[in-house]
């Protein structure tokens, strides 16, 4: 052991450590100065001396840092033992990491899938006009379809949107006539709540408009989105259905992602699950957004993100999703 190492070993306090650092390892310390002196040696000795110098410096630095860590640990332990305000027997506070809400998680997944197919992802307003929510999607004031979607009206005459379809008009006007977009979002309805009804829930709407867009395109897109969400091949089945903004309109079923269509308790042994509605966009909707239906056609679809999340995460009461109940949210495996 050389003299420097001996000196280091005898150190007892952090102040002495600082002094040692200043004397040997700092910019003006002896070891650093030695390095500067190497350049005065004859060239033949310089390489060998440089090597030895580096080894010495590294060895001393490593001992220095080891000693510093152990002195610090000792000081902390002393403090913990002697400080009357610190009780080391109290159990540690468990920190839990936050996570995305299941709906947010699913929405982002759908957005990712659709943008990979070239769809815009549009974030629309929750407050919309009566025109956007109803008239622009072919539901005039006297249409009975309005009765099924009562909502919360604001004093300024606007309303909380009852369906993501309310954004169709704005998107067509802004991005049309050739556009592919999805628009997930929160909807509201004036409903009595129970395990499967909430006054507020999430839907995801989608639209593809252009020249020569057909039902075959619709089926392909639906099949791709659903198969990717569930991570397995999903078959799509269209049944005739009425929605004022599409013609023809369909109810959209997917083969049950849980049993693959064989029948299980989730699909009530039918092999199919009802997922939403879809169809070819009604010419009135296109016309109202200044899109010429002679030249352009398109499909639209809408499905319940909340319903999908309930299915995927086996949630049996929709109200839990709005509850802010952390116990419940932590229990969900995303
Ligand atoms: N807006 C409909 C609802 O809330 C869902 C829907 C059906 C959307 C058919 C569509 C569609 O785009 O084509 O019940």
Q: Which pLDDT belongs to residue 274?
A: 94
Q: What is the count of structural domains for the chain?
A: 2
Q: Average per-residue pLDDT in the chain? A: 93
| Nearest atom, ligand 1, residue 301 CA | 12
Q: pLDDT by residue (tens digit) across 152-176?
A: 999 999 999 999 999 999 999 999 8
Of 15, 50, 82, the residue that ends a domain is 82
Regarding the beta carbon of 300 and ligand 1, being less than 6 Å apart is answered yes
Q: pLDDT by residue (tens digit) across 176-221?
A: 899 999 999 999 999 899 999 999 999 999 999 999 999 999 999 9
Q: Give the Cα separation of 25 and 128 in Å (integer).
A: 69
Regarding the beta carbon of 301 and ligand 1, being less than 6 Å apart is answered yes
8 Å CB contact between 141 and 180: no
Q: Give the Cα separation of 68 and 103 in Å (integer).
A: 50
Protein residue whose Cα sits closest to atom 5 of ligand 1: 302
Protein residue whose Cα sits closest to atom 7 of ligand 1: 277
In this structure, the answer to whether residues 53 and 122 fall within a common structural domain is: no
Centroid of chain to Cα 275: 22
Range of the domain at 74: 2-82
Q: pLDDT by residue (tens digit) across 60-103?
A: 999 999 999 999 998 888 888 888 888 878 888 887 778 899 99
Q: Which pLDDT belongs to residue 1?
A: 60
In this structure, the answer to whether residues 33 and 107 fall within a common structural domain is: no
* Mean of pLDDT values over 125-146: 95
Protein residue whose Cα sits closest to atom 11 of ligand 1: 278
In this structure, the answer to whether residues 73 and 137 fall within a common structural domain is: no
Regarding the beta carbon of 305 and ligand 1, being less than 6 Å apart is answered no
In this structure, the answer to whether residues 149 and 47 fall within a common structural domain is: no
Residue partners of 277: CB distance under 8 A and separation at least 6: 241, 243, 246, 249, 250, 251, 252, 301, 302, 303
Q: Give the Cα separation of 137 and 206 in Å (integer).
A: 14
Residue 265: HSE in the Cβ half-sphere, 13 Å Cα cutoff: 2
In this structure, the answer to whether residues 9 and 110 fall within a common structural domain is: no
Q: Is residue 317 part of a domain?
A: yes
Q: Is residue 133 part of a domain?
A: yes
Regarding the beta carbon of 250 and ligand 1, being less than 6 Å apart is answered no
In this structure, the answer to whether residues 175 and 256 fall within a common structural domain is: yes
8 Å CB contact between 281 and 263: no
From residue 87, give the alpha-carbon distance in Å to each of 84, 94, 272: 7, 17, 60
Q: Which pLDDT belongs to residue 281?
A: 98
Confidence grade of residue 135 (pLDDT, cut at 50, 70, 90)? very high
In this structure, the answer to whether residues 26 and 145 fall within a common structural domain is: no
In this structure, the answer to whether residues 114 and 75 fall within a common structural domain is: no
Q: Is residue 127 part of a domain?
A: yes
Q: How many angstroms separate the alpha carbon of residue 253 from the centre of ligand 1?
A: 13
In this structure, the answer to whether residues 168 and 205 fall within a common structural domain is: yes
Of 52, 82, 112, the residue that ends a domain is 82
Confidence grade of residue 139 (pLDDT, cut at 50, 70, 90)? very high
Residue in 245, 248, 277 to alter for ligand 1 test, most ligand atoms within 8 A of Cβ: 277
Regarding the beta carbon of 60 and ligand 1, being less than 6 Å apart is answered no
pLDDT at 41 over 90: no
In this structure, the answer to whether residues 162 and 277 fall within a common structural domain is: yes
């Amino acid at each position: 052991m050389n003299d420097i190492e001996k000196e280091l070993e005898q150190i007892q306090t952090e102040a002495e450590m600082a002094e040692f650092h200043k004397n040997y390892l700092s910019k003006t310390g002896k070891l650093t100065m030695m390095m500067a002196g190497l350049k005065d040696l004859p060239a033949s000795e310089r390489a060998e001396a440089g090597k030895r110098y580096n080894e010495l410096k590294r060895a001393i630095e490593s001992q220095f840092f080891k000693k510093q860590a152990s002195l610090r640990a000792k000081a902390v332990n002393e403090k913990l033992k002697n400080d009357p305000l610190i009780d080391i027997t109290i159990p540690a506070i468990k920190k839990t990491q936050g996570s995305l809400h299941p709906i947010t998680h699913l929405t982002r997944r759908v957005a990712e899938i659709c943008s990979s197919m070239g769809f815009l992802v549009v974030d629309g307003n929750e407050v919309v006009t009566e025109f956007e929510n109803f008239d622009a999607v072919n539901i005039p004031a006297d249409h009975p379809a309005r009765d099924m979607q009562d909502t919360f009206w604001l004093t300024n005459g606007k309303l909380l949107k009852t369906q993501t379809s309310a954004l169709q008009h704005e998107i067509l006007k802004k991005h049309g006539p050739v556009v592919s977009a999805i628009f997930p979002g929160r909807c509201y309805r004036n409903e009595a709540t129970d395990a499967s009804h909430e006054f507020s829930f999430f839907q995801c709407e989608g639209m593809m408009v252009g020249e020569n867009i057909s039902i075959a395109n619709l089926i392909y897109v639906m099949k791709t989105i659903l198969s990717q969400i569930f991570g397995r091949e999903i078959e799509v089945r269209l049944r005739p259905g009425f929605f004022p903004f599409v013609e023809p309109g369909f109810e959209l079923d997917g083969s049950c992602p849980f049993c693959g269509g064989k029948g299980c308790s989730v699909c009530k042994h039918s092999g199919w699950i009802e997922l939403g509605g879809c169809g070819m966009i009604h010419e009135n909707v296109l016309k109202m957004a200044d899109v010429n239906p002679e030249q352009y056609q398109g499909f639209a679809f809408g499905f319940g993100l909340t319903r999908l999340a309930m299915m995927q995460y086996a949630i049996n009461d929709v109200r839990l999703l709005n509850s802010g109940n952390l116990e419940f949210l932590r229990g969900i495996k995303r």
